[in-house]
């Protein structure tokens, strides 16, 4: 959730790099931020509640500009409200050491009591300060910073990625990980670490993912990894193929808008090279998706959170419909605590943009323990979920910075479709010709997505959003493959516009929620041509009979003619209609939020990657 950066250099100041790194990572958490640098025999901390701009004002005096080593942090509060005191870095009071942390120290209360009993003073409400004082206590005994960190970590229970800086004969920079991600990189005259590769891109594309239970010591030109016992670990750097430009706004007003418009390219990158037209099949790179394994699979268990779970719900329709394999799905946060029963030969499919979501990761680990085959659909090469999966379909959406997921979602749905076709072919449920037909439909989707992203659609969506700016609440309804799209449309609006929106299965309305419909209430209905179109039309009539104001999104012209307002979506095969239908809903949420003056890329209370429970 929080963003961590750190750097040490033999040839120049690190402060500007730390600030730039925090700017890149601010999307991960943004209620306060800070830096600490080692200079002139002491460690100086500057931190501020609010956005990075506040911290930059504090740093404008230039006093820390010469430092050769430092750490930085942008926070998403877990323990203690956003305030200057609770902002990171935290120091141990000695002026020799400071620490930043992402995660939760679960036994912080007992450790805090122990430290207070020793006469140590606390200045914040955070769990992080406990860890800082523990490291400080070990460091005071004359240990190296690496040894002090290893000794302190032996006392804590919980999840962390940390970076610690100290002064001594020369500055030292150490990181450690158990849970939340941490990546390091070395250059000829420096070494850098961060909670996300994005912040390392200005330095190098060759990065080293730190794994759970590892400590990393950085010095100019060198990254040395050990385990908690201090034994060396060797790891080859991994090359990141995309460049930093991919994470910029590229002329768009917001990352979210840019990411919505990138979707046709994301579809092509995720799907086209994998289509084996001659065989009417899909060829995934890497091991793990071969016929022998897929024939053995008896069930699929999808585990994911938020938007990724909506993609997983669509995966169920696709896999059951095409490959005839039963699919269950669950919120990862529920799965991990409900003592699940998994049938033999279950494929556990984690779907995740970041590959670092704590609940998804824990659920995948549990599924593996229960005997399932761990697999994933993921956007982050090198992430923990990918490393812990036997097989992965990478989504190639590129970095997604907007907190509201858009392009990662469509990429997940496309990947799920590829998987459904692969499973269906491997199990003989569809023949070569049918496979080819399905994959041709997928190829045809790209120009349709481009057409949908026209000025005309944007204009119409914006006008509808404006007409309903003052609405107290919205319903989003859909059936079949487009029921999860209704959930997703509602989630997008809630997240960035802060308006109450409820996604519902249209056929379920009559079992209760229809009581909420009152004259003029906006009800967005997704209706595309397919096996449930007639049913959706009846549901529209039911809402209209109660005075609801119906906005129809989809390819079915009859449904649109029933609506009070509508957005036409190009025709596509029913399996792929969700990929098109979600686009007007993303644009709707975007424009609604924009007109309400909301912070679109950094909505309140949220963070991009939820690496704590």
In whole angstroms, the minimum distance from the beta carbon of 122 to ligand M6R comes to: 32
The answer to whether the Cα torsion of 25, 73, 148, 160 is positive or negative is negative
Nearer to ligand M6R, 49 or 256 (CB): 256
Give phi and psi for 590, each to the nearest 5.
Answer: -60, -50
Nearer to ligand M6R, 404 or 572 (CB): 404
Beta carbons of 488 and 310 less than 8 angstroms apart = yes
Three-state SS for 147? helix
Q: Which residues of 280-319 are buried (b: 16+ CB within 10 A; e: fewer)?
A: bbbebeeebbeeebbeebebbbbbbbbbbbbbbbbbbbbb
Nearer to ligand M6R, 32 or 405 (CB): 405
Check if 608 is active-site.
Answer: yes
Query: How far is residue 430's CA from residue 323's CA, in Å, rounded to a whole number?
Result: 8
Give the binding range for ligand M6R (CB under 6 A) out of 23-31, 403-411, 420-428, 514-522: 403-411
196 sits near ligand M6R (criterion: CB under 6 A): no
The residue from 354, 376, 528, 559 that contacts ligand M6R (CB under 6 A) is 354
Catalytic-labelled residue, pool 48, 96, 494, 608: 608
Beta carbons of 388 and 369 less than 8 angstroms apart = no
Nearest to 285 by CA among 207, 395, 360: 395
262 sits near ligand M6R (criterion: CB under 6 A): no
The residue from 86, 124, 226, 307 that contacts ligand M6R (CB under 6 A) is 307
Binding mask 492-531 for ligand M6R (x = CB under 6 A): ---x------------------------------------
CA torsion angle 10 16 19 20 (round to 10): -100
How many chain residues touch ligand M6R (CB under 6 A)? Answer: 15
In whole angstroms, the minimum distance from the beta carbon of 485 to ligand M6R comes to: 14
Neighbouring C-beta atoms of residue 606, cutoff 10 Å? 17
The residue from 32, 352, 376, 410 that contacts ligand M6R (CB under 6 A) is 352
Rg (CA), the chain: 25
Nearer to ligand M6R, 225 or 308 (CB): 308
360 sits near ligand M6R (criterion: CB under 6 A): yes
In whole angstroms, the minimum distance from the beta carbon of 420 to ligand M6R comes to: 20
Nearer to ligand M6R, 188 or 605 (CB): 605
Query: 512-515 long-range CB contacts below 8 Å, 24 or more apart?
Result: 513/475, 514/542, 514/543, 514/546
Nearer to ligand M6R, 551 or 610 (CB): 610
The residue from 34, 146, 280, 306 that contacts ligand M6R (CB under 6 A) is 306
The residue from 167, 270, 405, 555 that contacts ligand M6R (CB under 6 A) is 405
Catalytic-labelled residue, pool 2, 33, 305, 598: 2
The H or E element that residue 146 is part of is: helix 145-153
357 sits near ligand M6R (criterion: CB under 6 A): yes
Check if 2 is active-site.
Answer: yes
The residue from 13, 167, 270, 609 that contacts ligand M6R (CB under 6 A) is 609
Nearer to ligand M6R, 39 or 259 (CB): 259
> Which residues share a beta bridge with 552?
525, 566
Return the residue nearest ligand M6R (CB atom): 306
Three-state SS for 17? helix
How distant is the alpha carbon of residue 403 from its chain centre? 8
**H-helix segments, 427-532:** 432-452, 455-467, 483-497
CB contact set of 62 (below 8 Å; sequence gap of 6+): none
| Residues assigned a catalytic role | 2, 608
Contacts with ligand M6R by CB under 6 A lie at 305-308, 352-354, 357, 360, 403-405, 495, 609-610
């Amino acid at each position: 959730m929080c963003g961590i950066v750190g750097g040490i250099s033999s040839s120049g100041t690190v402060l500007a790099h730390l600030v730039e790194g925090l700017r890149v990572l601010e999307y991960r958490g943004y209620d306060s931020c800070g830096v600490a640098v080692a200079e002139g025999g002491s460690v100086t901390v500057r931190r501020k509640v609010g956005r990075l701009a506040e911290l930059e004002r504090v740093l404008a005096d230039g006093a820390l500009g010469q430092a050769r080593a430092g750490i930085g942090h942008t926070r998403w509060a877990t323990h203690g409200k956003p305030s200057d005191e609770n902002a990171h870095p935290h120091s141990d009071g000695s002026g020799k050491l400071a620490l930043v942390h992402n995660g939760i120290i679960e036994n912080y209360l007992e450790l805090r009591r122990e430290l207070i009993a020793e006469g140590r003073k606390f200045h914040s409400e955070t769990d992080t300060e406990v860890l800082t004082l523990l490291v400080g206590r070990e460091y005071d005994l004359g240990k190296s910073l690496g040894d002090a960190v290893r000794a302190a970590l032996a006392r804590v229970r919980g999840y962390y990625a940390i970076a610690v800086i100290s002064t001594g004969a020369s500055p030292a920079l150490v990181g450690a990980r158990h849970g939340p991600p941490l990546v390091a990189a070395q250059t000829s005259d420096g070494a850098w670490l961060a909670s996300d590769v994005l912040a390392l891109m200005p330095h190098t594309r060759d990065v080293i993912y730190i794994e759970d239970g590892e400590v990393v010591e950085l010095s100019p030109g060198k990254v040395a990894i050990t385990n908690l016992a201090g034994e060396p670990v060797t790891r080859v750097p991994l090359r990141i193929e995309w460049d930093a430009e991919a994470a910029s706004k590229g002329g768009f007003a917001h990352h979210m808008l840019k990411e919505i418009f990138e979707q046709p390219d994301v579809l092509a990158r995720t799907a086209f090279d994998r289509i084996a037209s001659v065989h009417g099949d899909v060829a995934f790179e890497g091991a793990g998706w071969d016929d022998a394994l897929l024939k053995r699979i008896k069930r699929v268990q999808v585990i994911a959170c938020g938007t990724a779970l909506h993609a997983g719900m669509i995966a169920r329709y696709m896999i059951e419909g095409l490959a005839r394999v039963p699919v269950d799905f669950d919120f990862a946060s529920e799965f991990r605590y409900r003592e699940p029963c998994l049938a033999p030969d279950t494929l556990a499919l984690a779907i995740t943009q970041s590959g670092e979501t704590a609940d998804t990761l824990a659920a995948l680990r549990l599924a593996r323990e229960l005997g399932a085959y761990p697999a994933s659909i993921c956007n982050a090469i090198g992430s923990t979920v990918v490393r812990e999966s036997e097989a992965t379909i990478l989504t190639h959406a590129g970095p997604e910075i907007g907190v509201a997921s858009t392009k990662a979602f469509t990429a997940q749905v496309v990947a799920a479709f590829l998987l459904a076709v692969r499973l269906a072919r491997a199990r003989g449920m569809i023949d070569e010709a049918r496979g080819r037909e399905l994959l041709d439909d997928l190829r045809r989707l790209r120009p349709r997505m481009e057409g949908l992203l026209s000025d005309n659609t944007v204009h119409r969506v914006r006008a509808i959003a404006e007409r309903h700016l003052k609405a107290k609440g919205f319903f989003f309804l859909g059936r079949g493959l487009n029921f999860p799209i209704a959930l997703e449309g509602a989630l997008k609006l809630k997240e960035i516009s802060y308006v109450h929106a409820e996604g519902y299965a249209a056929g379920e309305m009559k079992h209760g929620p229809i009581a909420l419909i009152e004259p003029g209430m906006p009800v967005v209905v997704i209706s595309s041509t397919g096996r449930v179109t007639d049913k959706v039309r009846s549901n529209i009539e039911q809402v209209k009979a109660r005075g609801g104001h119906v906005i129809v999104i989809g390819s079915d012209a009859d449904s649109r003619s029933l609506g009070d307002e509508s957005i036409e979506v190009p025709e596509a095969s029913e399996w792929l209609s969700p990929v098109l239908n979600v686009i007007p809903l993303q644009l709707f949420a975007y424009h609604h939020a924009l007109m309400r003056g909301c912070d679109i890329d950094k909505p309140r209370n949220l963070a991009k990657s939820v690496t704590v429970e």
